[in-house]
């Protein structure tokens, strides 16, 4: 028998193949095993939160019906506080009324992540204080407040919708939470967020999707969507959100509530979950959200106190300047209805024009304002900075996670090799007939080294300088502009209209305080005007589709903007707009 040389390769090849198959099988099993473990981890967390809510609901069934409930829920925050401080109402009764209301609205809207179990003890402590008559010293005595899930709370997981953070409870409360407690407030529920908090569709694989209180087929906005929703549905009077691109203002606009994004560090950000805290050019801020402007003022007054300045010495010790808020002199206010990139829909433009009339009727001078270079500023500065690590940090956090469908397209794109992303970005630019997304994608892979980063920081400074000199040349005190480019977006569709964020991101980039106040609602006439909305680009076509029908009655806000550290002036403008347009929070 002779050895056939052609067989000399068979054995090694067969062995190699066997090893490859075995390796693939092992990897597959490992992947499936990891995936199953991940699903279990998420389910366990979900079950824990659901059970906590059920326990709270069961507790309420056992307690007697509350005669005072509707009396409590009908009061605006200012009046409720008066009754709590004067001991006309018990903190425990008020807490129970709001717990019940939150549970009720949550059944349909899914805005609450979990209840805060310490609330009951705090309420009892409040009621015990009345013997010592100490309650007068605490401006938020007995007030239940809701918190976006990203605030650290001792003993609670702070996940931002990412399973990597499940089972890692915070060791300490956020500074804001500590100060709120010292001032008498009772944190009572934690509210939902989008996965990563870097989009405005409020959905994640752990807690699910939150719906808009005015139309369940649409979203509440985000990322503080749970807050917008619970306050808009009257399940909370005061809540706290965070904002690096509009996350306080977008849900306020879409849910018909008020909110303030202060200048960075006017309030302490210590103890809040943020991806990429090493990025310090554009910073996330925290701020209050409420049913009316007076409640925001009460919250700011209470928070800007020595306790906050002691607990976080990076916060400038500037107490709330009531004299600025209460001044009555005539203001010069700029306004615009179009920022130069995506046309706001007619309803959102009208909201600004309504606010303009309201302010003019109060004697103020309004002049047109033109935002310089907004599209370029978004792609070349905002995206390049906020995703300046080539999105590494975000991808690392999501590496072993289940990705929510609302962000999966972005995450898939970012996971591709850079050269493929580069090619894709040009395809996208052509298909969309719009350079916004394409440029945005290219921007996330542009920064290579410290030199690039410094150049970017310089460009940001230049833009800030340009904007300020325009502001100064017009001698403005404040600005008003659309709360957003459109009202609440149909569920699952935010990605198709992402371009709307230029209206809000601008004021994060500039670090100007900006607040959103509801002004009006979409009318039939606004909708009819959508027939002339442009359809040149993909975003425009989607906007036309989503907002030409089914939007009547949706809330619309305007943004009021001031120079850095002028929160009191911004609140004054918001209050004046609110006075002329009493918007009642409505739930259908
Ligand atoms: C993970 C999905 C990202 C999609 C890519 C979007 C690029 C830019 C859009 C910015 C959108 C900003 C929305 C609001 C973010 C915000 O303010 N978050 C609060 C964090 O505290």
Backbone dihedral region of 339: left (phi > 0), alpha (psi from -120 to 50 degrees) or beta? Answer: alpha
Ligand 1, pocket-test mutation among 162, 199, 499, most atoms within 8 A of CB: 199
pLDDT at 7 (0 to 100): 72
Query: For 411-419, which contacts have Cβ atoms below 8 Å and span 24 or more sequence positions?
Result: 413/441, 414/444, 418/390, 418/445
Q: Is the confidence at residue 2, as pLDDT, over 80? A: no
Ligand 1 within 6 A of 197 CB?
Answer: yes
Higher-confidence residue: 2 or 181? 181
Structure pTM? Answer: 0.94
Instruction: Spell out the alpha helix ranges (H) of 63-145.
Output: 69-74, 77-85, 91-109, 119-129
What separation in Å is there between the alpha carbon of 245 and the centre of ligand 1? Answer: 6
Residues 6+ apart with CB under 8 A from 361: 580
Ligand 1 within 6 A of 407 CB?
Answer: yes
- pLDDT category at 588 given cuts 50, 70, 90 is very low
Asked about 270 being catalytic, the answer comes back as no
Kind plus residue range of the DSSP H or E element containing 55: helix 10-62
- pLDDT category at 583 given cuts 50, 70, 90 is low
How does pLDDT run across 231-257, given as a tens digit for each residue? 999 999 999 999 999 999 999 999 999
The protein residue with its alpha carbon nearest to ligand 1, atom 7, reads: 383
CA nearest to 330, candidates 469, 518, 475: 475
- pLDDT category at 586 given cuts 50, 70, 90 is very low
Residues 570 and 285: their CA atoms lie apart, in Å, by 16
Ligand 1 within 6 A of 284 CB?
Answer: yes
The 3-state secondary structure of 343-371 reads ECCHHHHHHHHHHHHHHHHCCCEEEECCC
pLDDT (mean) for 278-289: 95
Q: What is the mean pLDDT of the chain?
A: 93
Ligand 1 within 6 A of 501 CB?
Answer: yes
Residues 61 and 76: their CA atoms lie apart, in Å, by 26
Active-site residue (options: 45, 148, 349, 356): 148
How does pLDDT run across 45-95, given as a tens digit for each residue? 999 999 999 999 998 865 555 568 889 999 999 999 999 999 999 999 999
Asked about 223 being catalytic, the answer comes back as yes
The protein residue with its alpha carbon nearest to ligand 1, atom 5, reads: 410
Asked about 473 being catalytic, the answer comes back as no
């Amino acid at each position: 028998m002779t050895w056939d040389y052609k067989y000399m390769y068979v054995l090694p090849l067969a062995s190699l193949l066997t090893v490859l198959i075995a390796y693939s099988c092992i990897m597959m099993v490992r992947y499936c095993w990891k995936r199953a473990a991940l699903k279990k981890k998420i389910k366990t967390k979900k079950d824990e939160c659901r059970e906590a809510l059920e326990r709270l609901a069961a507790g309420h069934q056992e307690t007697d019906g509350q005669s005072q409930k509707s009396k409590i829920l009908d009061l605006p925050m200012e009046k409720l506080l008066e009754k709590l401080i004067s001991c006309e109402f018990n903190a425990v009764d008020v807490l129970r009324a709001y717990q019940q209301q939150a549970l009720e609205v949550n059944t349909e809207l899914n805005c609450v992540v979990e209840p805060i179990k310490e609330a009951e003890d705090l309420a009892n402590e409040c009621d015990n204080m009345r013997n010592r008559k100490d309650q007068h010293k605490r401006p938020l005595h007995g007030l239940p407040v809701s918190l976006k899930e990203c605030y650290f709370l001792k003993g609670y997981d702070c996940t931002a919708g990412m399973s990597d953070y499940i089972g890692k409870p915070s060791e300490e409360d956020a500074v804001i939470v500590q100060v709120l407690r010292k001032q008498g407030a009772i944190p009572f529920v934690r509210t939902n967020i989008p996965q990563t908090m870097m989009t405005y569709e409020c959905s994640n694989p752990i807690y699910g999707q939150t719906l808009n209180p005015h139309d369940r087929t649409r979203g509440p906005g985000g990322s503080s969507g749970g807050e917008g929703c619970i306050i808009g549905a009257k399940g909370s009077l005061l809540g706290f959100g965070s904002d690096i691109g509009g996350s306080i203002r977008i849900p306020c606009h879409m849910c018909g509530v008020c909110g303030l994004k202060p200048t960075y560090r006017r309030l302490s950000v210590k103890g809040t979950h943020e991806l990429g805290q090493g990025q310090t050019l554009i910073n996330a801020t925290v701020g209050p959200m409420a049913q009316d402007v007076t409640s925001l003022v009460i919250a700011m007054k209470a928070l800007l106190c020595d306790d906050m300045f002691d607990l976080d010495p990076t916060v400038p010790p500037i107490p709330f300047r009531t004299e600025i808020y209460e001044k009555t002199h005539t203001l010069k206010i700029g306004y615009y209805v179009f920022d130069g990139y995506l046309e706001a829909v007619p309803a959102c433009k009208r909201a600004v024009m309504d606010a303009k009339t309201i302010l003019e009727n109060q004697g103020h001078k309004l002049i047109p304002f033109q935002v310089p270079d907004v599209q370029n500023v978004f792609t070349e500065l905002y995206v390049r900075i906020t995703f300046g690590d080539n999105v590494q940090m975000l991808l690392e956090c999501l590496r072993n996670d289940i990705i929510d469908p609302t962000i999966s397209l972005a995450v898939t794109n970012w996971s591709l090799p850079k050269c493929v992303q580069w090619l894709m970005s040009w395809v996208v630019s052509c298909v969309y007939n719009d350079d916004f997304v394409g440029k945005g994608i290219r921007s996330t892979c542009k920064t290579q080294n410290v030199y690039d980063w410094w150049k970017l920081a310089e460009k940001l400074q230049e833009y800030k300088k340009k904007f300020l000199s325009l502001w100064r040349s017009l001698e403005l005190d404040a600005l008003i502009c659309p709360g957003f480019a459109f009202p609440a977006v149909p569920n699952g569709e935010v990605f198709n209209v992402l371009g709307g964020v230029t209206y809000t991101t601008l004021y994060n980039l500039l670090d100007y305080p900006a607040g959103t106040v509801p002004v009006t609602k979409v009318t039939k006439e606004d909708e009819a005007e959508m027939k002339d909305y442009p359809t040149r680009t993909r975003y425009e076509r989607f906007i036309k589709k989503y907002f030409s029908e089914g939007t009547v009655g949706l809330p619309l806000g305007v943004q009021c903007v001031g120079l850095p550290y002028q929160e009191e002036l911004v609140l004054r403008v918001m209050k004046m707009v609110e006075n002329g347009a009493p918007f009642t929070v409505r739930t259908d």
